[in-house]
Amino acid sequence: MAPREVAISSKLRFIQLKYLHMAYRTPIVIHRAHPSYPPGCPKCPCPRADFLHITWTCPRLQHFWGRVEQTVSRVLGRDIILTPKTALLEITFEWGGSRGERRFLGMATMIAKRDIAKHWMAKQSPRLSTWRSGMDWVSKLEEPIYNARGCPQKHHRIWGKWWAFYGLE
C-alpha cells in the first residue's frame, strides 16, 4: 500500500478503535469506580447511561442518526435503515446494494461515530453540518489514492452520488 493510503486507513481504524474503547468510559462504568460521578446521560434525563444509550438510543443521538439516515437515503436514492448492528458494529452486508454503496455507508457511519466520540460527555449532540464536512474530507482524501492506482472509477462508485448530490464535481 502507498504511504498515504496507509495513513488514511490507520486514521479510520484509530477512530473505530477509539470508539470501541469508549465502552469503558460510559457514565455507568465511571460511576461504578467513582460513585460520586453521576451515572446519568449528559445529554438527556436518562438516569443510567450505558454504551448503547450513549451511542445510539439517547433521544438526542437518535435525532442525529435519523438525519444521517435521511441524508444517505437521499444521496443513494433508496431507503437505508441504520441499526446498531450495521452502524456500530459495521455488519454492512445487511444494507445490500453494491460494494461501492456499502463502502460509502461504512464511511458515513464511521464519520458519525467520530462525531459522537468528539461530543462524548458533552451536553450537545453532534451537528449534521460537521458530519457533512467530514464526509467531504474523506471523499477528497480518497480520490488521489484511487487515481494513483489507476482506478478512478472505483472512487466514483463510492463517492459519485455524494459528489453529484452536493455539487462537488
Q: Is 46 in the site for Zn ion (CB under 5 A)?
A: yes
Least separation, in Å, of the C-beta of 43 and Zn ion?
A: 4
Burial 5-36 (b: 16+ CB within 10 A, else e): beebeeebeeebeebeebeeebbbbbbeeeee
Q: Distance (Å, rounded) from C-alpha 47 to C-alpha 28? A: 9
Q: Distance (Å, rounded) from C-alpha 48 to C-alpha 41? A: 7
User: Which residue do the cell numbers 451515572 mark?
Assistant: 39
Q: Distance (Å, rounded) from C-alpha 50 to C-alpha 125? A: 16
Give the residue with the Cβ less far from Zn ion, 48 or 74. 48
Q: Which stretch binds Zn ion (CB under 5 A): 41-49, 77-85, 96-104, 123-131?
A: 41-49
Give the residue with the Cβ less far from Zn ion, 51 or 165. 51
| Grid cell digits, residue 131 | 458530519
Q: Is 116 in the site for Zn ion (CB under 5 A)?
A: no
Give the residue with the Cβ less far from Zn ion, 64 or 104. 64
Q: Is 28 in the site for Zn ion (CB under 5 A)?
A: no
Among 58, 76, 88, 111, binds Zn ion (CB under 5 A): 58
Number of residues in contact with Zn ion under rule CB under 5 A = 5
Q: Is 41 in the site for Zn ion (CB under 5 A)?
A: yes
